[in-house]
């Protein structure tokens, strides 16, 4: 899930005001039913849980997939295809403060925040130890054309 830092301001008995959100979550007049959060966690455990527990081969090529946008629809398919070919799949961590910081440090355009997070996420895959094992990182999939944008790390000595 994608998280952002939100500040809550209260004035007396007035309803709380939220500042800093990058979505309209706090703009709506809705009740705070916590069961939805539980359903979201349940869905994530069903969707990502079985794949994260699978044993990865110790050698061979690795594909890095950021956990955002298309991943929440297509990850089981990607995992099955790549693992059937003997390719390890490395899934990024969910969005966090470090990814958001990387996003603001690297992304100078103004697309939506989930799209911006891709640029922050791939930087976490770019640490030297990770570069030695990742063969490709899938950055985005164009649903209308079926094409993929990928990033291949440079050859390391």
pLDDT in tens, 12-45: 888 888 777 666 666 655 555 555 567 777 877 8
Q: Dmax of the chain from CA atoms?
A: 63
Lowest mean pLDDT among 5-14, 29-38, 89-98: 29-38
Cα dihedral 123→98→79→126 (10° resolution): 20
The Cα 144–Cα 123 span in angstroms is 27
Residue 50 confidence (pLDDT) above 50: yes
Per the CB < 8 A criterion, the answer to whether 70 and 143 are in contact is yes
pTM over 0.85: no
**What is the rounded average pLDDT for all residues in the chain?**
67
Q: Which residue has the higher pLDDT, 82 or 122?
A: 82
3-state DSSP assignment of residue 89: strand
Residue 56 confidence (pLDDT) above 70: no
Per the CB < 8 A criterion, the answer to whether 150 and 137 are in contact is yes
Half-sphere exposure of 45 (CA within 13 A, CB side): 6
Per the CB < 8 A criterion, the answer to whether 141 and 112 are in contact is no
Mutual orientation of helices 97-106 and 113-125 as an angle, nearest 10°? 100
The Cα 71–Cα 121 span in angstroms is 13
pLDDT band at 3 (very low <50, low <70, confident <90, very high): low
With CA atoms as reference, report the closest residue to 117 among 150, 90, 94, 136: 94
27-41, 67-81, 107-121, 137-151: which is most confident: 67-81
pLDDT band at 127 (very low <50, low <70, confident <90, very high): very low
Cα dihedral 37→30→113→46 (10° resolution): 20
């Amino acid at each position: 899930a994608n998280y952002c830092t939100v500040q809550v301001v209260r004035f007396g008995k007035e309803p709380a005001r939220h500042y800093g959100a990058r979505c309209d979550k706090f703009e709506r007049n809705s009740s705070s039913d916590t069961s939805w959060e539980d359903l979201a966690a349940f869905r994530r455990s069903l969707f990502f849980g079985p794949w994260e527990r699978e044993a990865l081969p110790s050698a061979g090529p690795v594909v890095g997939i950021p956990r955002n946008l298309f991943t929440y629809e297509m990850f089981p398919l990607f995992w099955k295809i790549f693992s059937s070919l003997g390719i390890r799949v490395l899934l990024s961590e969910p969005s966090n403060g470090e990814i958001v910081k990387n996003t603001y440090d690297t992304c100078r355009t103004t697309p939506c925040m989930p799209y911006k997070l891709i640029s922050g996420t791939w930087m976490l895959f770019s640490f030297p130890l990770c570069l030695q094992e990742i063969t490709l990182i899938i950055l985005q999939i164009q649903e209308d054309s079926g094409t993929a944008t990928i990033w291949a790390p440079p050859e390391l000595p």
